[in-house]
A and B are shown apart, each in its own frame.
Chain A
Amino acid sequence: MIPKLCYFLKLLVFIILNNLILKLKLNIDGLLVYFPYDYIYPEQYSYMLELKRTLDAKGHGVLEMPSGTGKTISLLSLIVAYQKAYPLEVTKLVYCSRTVPEIEKVVEELRKLMDYYTKQTEAKNDFLALALSSRKNLCIHPEVSALRFGKEVDGKCHSLTASYIRAQHHSNPSQPVCQFYEEFDAVGRQVPIPPGIYNLDDLKDFGRRKGWCPYFLARYAILHANIVVYSYHYLLDPKIADLVSKELAKKSVVVFDEAHNIDNVCIDSMSVNITRRTLDRCQTNVETLQNTISRIKETDAAKLREEYSRLVEGLKEANVARETDMYLSNPVLPDEILQEAVPGSIRTAEHFVGFMKRFLEYLKARLRIHHVVQESAPQFLKDIYEKVCIDRKPLRFCAERLRSLLRTLEIADIADFSAITLISHFATLVSTYSKGFTIIIEPFEDRTPTIANPVLHFSCMDPSIAIKPVFGRFQSVIITSGTLSPLDIYPRILDFRPVTVASFTMTLARTCLCPLIVGRGNDQVAMTSKFETREDFAVIRNYGNLLLEMSAIVPDGIVAFFTSYIYMENIVASWYEQGILENIQRNKLIFIETQDAAETSMALEKYQEACENGRGAILLSVARGKVSEGIDFVHHYGRAVIMFGVPYVYTQSRILKARLEYLRDQFQIRENDFLTFDAMRHAAQCVGRAIRGKTDYGLMIFADKRYARADKRGKLPRWIQEHLTDGSLNLTIDETVQLGKHFLRQMAQPFRQEDQLGLSLLTLEQLQSEDMLQKIAQIAQQA
């Protein structure tokens, strides 16, 4: 206690000396942390304490803190301070976020922090931080960057920068190359990028100034950068991670922000879906390959011979693998790749193409079915061996071999070969992993049983497979989000052992969120989206009445979430027939999210306009849709969120069933627990869209009586649960309207920063008071 007090005193004296400084310098458990704001939320302080403990222990952590409470800046200021204090312990921060706007936001916060650092220490800052994104977002080549799709940009870039193209350019100057890459390759590597903070635009500007390619510059620079901000996939998807993140140091801290869906990202990165269209396109690919081989054979047979001999020697990467060539990589995790020579049966180009043909025909035959087939990877391998005599080993090398072939054939436009690439990935994956994967072949979609549309799902069921190397390789991995409840399930499904698991609540100077569970209509009929009653006329009518009543009392924007597109369509059609829609439209305009991205963004734009100019609007959207994940409805854009029903996944899906079974067998997680957990995290994610900060406010209406049950309610994040009183559990529409009206009037009263100070917003002096420290200790709840 005494040394701590001494430290505080010293700090105070320091502050008195520098009394012009407004921003905060904090002492977090003995670590001096610069915090670039005048005030700090108590939960931020608490969050940093926990984070510090995690870093000290060199372990992993799971931290839940509501959005809008400054997670990002807390993370950044603590980890940067830690890096400065112990440069040998933590060398790099890898910050993974989901979308480009989120990445940009992180970099802006970081810039603020670094400005404050330079102002404080007055020393030249030697910190290098940069954002990395795909070529599409970073390319400055006038023609290439004009392309619309990421795949096209990648393909075009490859056709300008591949090593053989550059070699050809050497002999034949009319062959176009990318001058930005040439410039970078010539000088860029020797001259380090000056320290500073670079977002995507800064990188592009820097690239333009120097005439260097920003994408490759960034990829090169992340090796010695102190902070890297990029997307999840650069770490989790083995196809990309191998290229980009292979050389990151072990002493890095990895942060996954907004990580509530991390298990699905892991699964998606390892899964493959093959349709008949894929196979058809693959067929064309194979033919092209064959033609190219025979052509080359006539003109340049030596080249093929050289490749063959290279493969014999087991030198997979005989050419010094140039970064630009590594367009395709192995879909399996690095430690699973066999370090031996390619087997003889697929060594020559013709044999390999023949092999692929056989494999393709086999897959085609498998897709010609009339009933659903589900089998494990070993079963599949056995079957393929019996039917077409394809061994496991050559299959494993499929991806590797294809890569080598494409390079030898000097095929520049790789984008066209996505189908055969996909098939080769499938081949490699299915022969590498025997556990944690399943193969499901469905002849048609469940919803359209008459239309034949066979699909082969090669589905990963175990998210821990993809993330395991990340946990194994880096010393600290932090998983954080606004909604991670129940906290104990993430360590289980991702199969790791965290040192800290904590949930933080939001300290509020006024109760700005109002969760209400509406269980009944005014006619006392229970409201629920349960399968048996979802077609019930009374339920649909009551849902309609709820929306109608809310549209009359909630100002500006309301966002309503349904459990699925089909359910939404049914309900809206029925509302139309009953005349409910017409009544709602007297109060507010109605916009609907559709599966079409362009249409949805249009609807969203108009929705915001209607909220802005006072007409008021309702956005009908779907849980798990685009709106529910990436779009924030701050302030007037979302004064109320209504969640119609519990957003369970489509439980009849075979992939899901297989996954549930696997979870039960491997991790002892019961089906129901997982389904509820999944539904509740999406529900929390949806309703959380409305509250994006402490000055924001909004109603959260859960319109299903099942939410009132303890097993559902208990899985909501703590910061929502806290405000869910017994009096708001099983309300009728009338009661909801009364409560809502009252709440909205209360919240409309003027609210200034002074009202927050001392309660939910602290200055340094307030932070250091003894009882405040005690209160802070209660904010974090260890799970």
Chain B
Amino acid sequence: MDEEPERAKRWEGGYERTWEVLKEDESGSLKASVEDILFQAKRKRVSEGHGQVRLGMMRHLFVIIDSSRSMEDQDLRPNRLTSTLKLMEFFVEEYFDQNPISQIGIITTKNKRAEKLTDLAGNPKKHLAALKKAVDSTCVGEPSLYNSLNVAMQTLKHMPAHTSKEILVIFSSLTTCDPANIYELIKTLNALKIRVSVIGLSAEVRVCTILTRETGGSYNVILDESHFKELLMLHVKPPPASSSSECSLIRMGFPQHVIASMSDQDAKPSFSMSHLDSTGEPGLTLGGYYCPQCRAKYTELPVECKVCGLTLVSAPHLARSFHHLFPLEAFQETPLEEYEGERFCEACQGELKDKSVFTCLACKKVFCVECDLFIHDTLHCCPGCMQTDRTS
């Protein structure tokens, strides 16, 4: 009944009380400043994880996207669903970029049901296509946390013990419609060592707090779109492996790309094995990657061989995940007042205005907060050190 008026009053409900944010910063030290706490958390994230931790590099991740009625809420632009799917596309790309030997699958839940959008697979293309298509779907009914976790669990429980089994839930609704006691399911998930993390889009829900605490995942609630993105990016980095996970050697194939030139008369166009499960047009191609074990042909990497089940990757892929093992050391933080020297950031050349500045311990160059985060999250190497390396 209130569907129509809601749309009409868009201009009314939409205004943001930006002055509230300002006020909290100014007020005395007793007044809480959530922003400040958040900033500390941000820093902490960068500084932690530098010990010798074993990381679960081989990940099987199911992302559960809530597509219930509440996803139509317009507090993210243009609405929660579109915004989420857009960020998810970015996430999938980033995920495969940083975790080349991992797999992802997508589940949606609406109308008390859970549905697999894509199965676990190591190639981003299919996922991206599915995500693009999902934008047009309607959001109806309540989500079911139980059903969607169950769907994910059915697949994940067959995964080998040395992989990191994870579920990431993007949960917009504040209610869930479950067919059975979810606490039993949480116990099972815990026994199967499946880590469940939740990103809430509206507020803290008790059952998610328990779910994440019991299974060792993280639970965050977004403040706005940029915070959402930040939280999502946290899940790009491989989580520390639990000490009980097995170690084992994994067979992998590094196929060479064979380029058959058009001039070569012997070359015959052939199908790629990956067309088997793709609904798209099976194109005939000349060259490709050939599985070193069974000689099946693939046009893209990384992929799991359909014939012999060997994981096929390229060496550069594997190298990309290298930085997780040898991360860039945290920069030293000094308050701005104590810092003496030129007041501009080495990276962005902007003026240093924040409360504190960050110094690289190796090259003694100074950076601002934003650049510090960028260097640690994205670049993974200090531009200052690179420069000195080159010049010397």
Interface residue B129 (Cβ < 8 Å from any Cβ of A): no
Interface residues of B in 187-237 (CB under 8 A from A): 200, 202-209, 220-223
Least distance between A353 CB and chain B CB atoms (Å): 63
Interface residue A612 (Cβ < 8 Å from any Cβ of B): yes
| Contact status B176-A614, CB under 8 Å | yes
| Contact status B181-A613, CB under 8 Å | yes
User: Complex Cα distance A572/B289, Å?
Assistant: 69
Given contacts A556-B205, A616-B174, 15 further A-B contacts (CB under 8 A): A508-B32, A554-B174, A555-B203, A555-B204, A611-B206, A613-B182, A615-B175, A616-B175, A635-B206, A734-B13, A738-B16, A738-B17, A741-B202, A745-B221, A748-B204
| Contact status A614-B30, CB under 8 Å | no
Interface residue B20 (Cβ < 8 Å from any Cβ of A): yes
Q: Could you say which residues of chain B place their CB within 8 Å of the CB of A587? A: 174-175
| Contact status B30-A507, CB under 8 Å | yes
Least distance between B33 CB and chain A CB atoms (Å): 8
Which residues of B does A touch, CB under 8 Å? 1-2, 9, 12-13, 15-17, 20, 29-34, 37-38, 40-41, 69-70, 75, 142, 145, 174-178, 181-183, 200, 202-209, 220-223
Q: Could you say which residues of chain A place their CB within 8 Å of the CB of B202? A: 553, 555, 741, 744-745
| Contact status A750-B220, CB under 8 Å | yes
Interface residue A769 (Cβ < 8 Å from any Cβ of B): no
| Contact status A748-B17, CB under 8 Å | no
Q: Could you say which residues of chain A place their CB within 8 Å of the CB of B223? A: 745-746, 749
Q: Which of A508, A522, A749 contacts B38 (CB 8 A)?
A: A749
| Contact status A614-B206, CB under 8 Å | yes
Q: Could you say which residues of chain A place their CB within 8 Å of the CB of B12? A: 734
Q: Could you say which residues of chain A place their CB within 8 Å of the CB of B75? A: 741
Can you spell out 22 A-B residue pairs with CB atoms less than 8 angstroms apart? A510-B37, A511-B31, A552-B174, A555-B205, A612-B206, A614-B145, A614-B178, A614-B182, A614-B206, A614-B207, A615-B177, A616-B175, A734-B9, A734-B12, A744-B202, A745-B223, A746-B34, A748-B200, A748-B220, A749-B34, A749-B223, A775-B30
User: Complex Cα distance A560/B154, Å?
Assistant: 41
Interface residue A583 (Cβ < 8 Å from any Cβ of B): yes
Taking residues whose C-beta sits less than 8 angstroms from the other chain, chain A's interface range is 35 or more
Least distance between B15 CB and chain A CB atoms (Å): 8
Q: Could you say which residues of chain A place their CB within 8 Å of the CB of B176? A: 613-615
Q: Which of B2, B13, B41, B175 contacts A750 (CB 8 A)?
A: B41
User: Complex Cα distance A586/B177, Å?
Assistant: 10
Q: Which of A552, A588, A749, A775 contacts B37 (CB 8 A)?
A: A749
Interface residues of A in 597-642 (CB under 8 A from B): 611-616, 635-636, 639
| Contact status A745-B174, CB under 8 Å | no
Q: Could you say which residues of chain A place their CB within 8 Å of the CB of B69? A: 586
| Contact status A553-B34, CB under 8 Å | no
Q: Could you say which residues of chain A place their CB within 8 Å of the CB of B31? A: 511
Q: Which of A508, A614, A747, A759 contacts B208 (CB 8 A)?
A: A614
Closest to A589 in B: B175
User: Complex Cα distance A586/B182, Å?
Assistant: 19
User: Complex Cα distance A10/B392, Å?
Assistant: 60
Closest to B221 in A: A748
| Contact status B183-A613, CB under 8 Å | yes
Closest to A747 in B: B204
User: Complex Cα distance A739/B145, Å?
Assistant: 27
| Contact status A553-B174, CB under 8 Å | yes
User: Complex Cα distance A775/B32, Å?
Assistant: 16
| Contact status A579-B1, CB under 8 Å | yes
| Contact status A759-B221, CB under 8 Å | no
Interface residues of A in 508-561 (CB under 8 A from B): 508-512, 522, 548, 552-556
| Contact status B29-A759, CB under 8 Å | yes
Closest to A739 in B: B17
| Contact status B175-A588, CB under 8 Å | yes
Q: Could you say which residues of chain B place their CB within 8 Å of the CB of A667? A: none
Q: Which of A509, A614, A739, A749 contacts B221 (CB 8 A)?
A: A749
| Contact status A586-B206, CB under 8 Å | no
| Contact status A738-B13, CB under 8 Å | yes
User: Complex Cα distance A741/B76, Å?
Assistant: 13
| Contact status B203-A554, CB under 8 Å | yes
Least distance between A587 CB and chain B CB atoms (Å): 6
Q: Could you say which residues of chain A place their CB within 8 Å of the CB of B40? A: 755
Q: Could you say which residues of chain B place their CB within 8 Å of the CB of A510? A: 32-34, 37
| Contact status A555-B30, CB under 8 Å | no
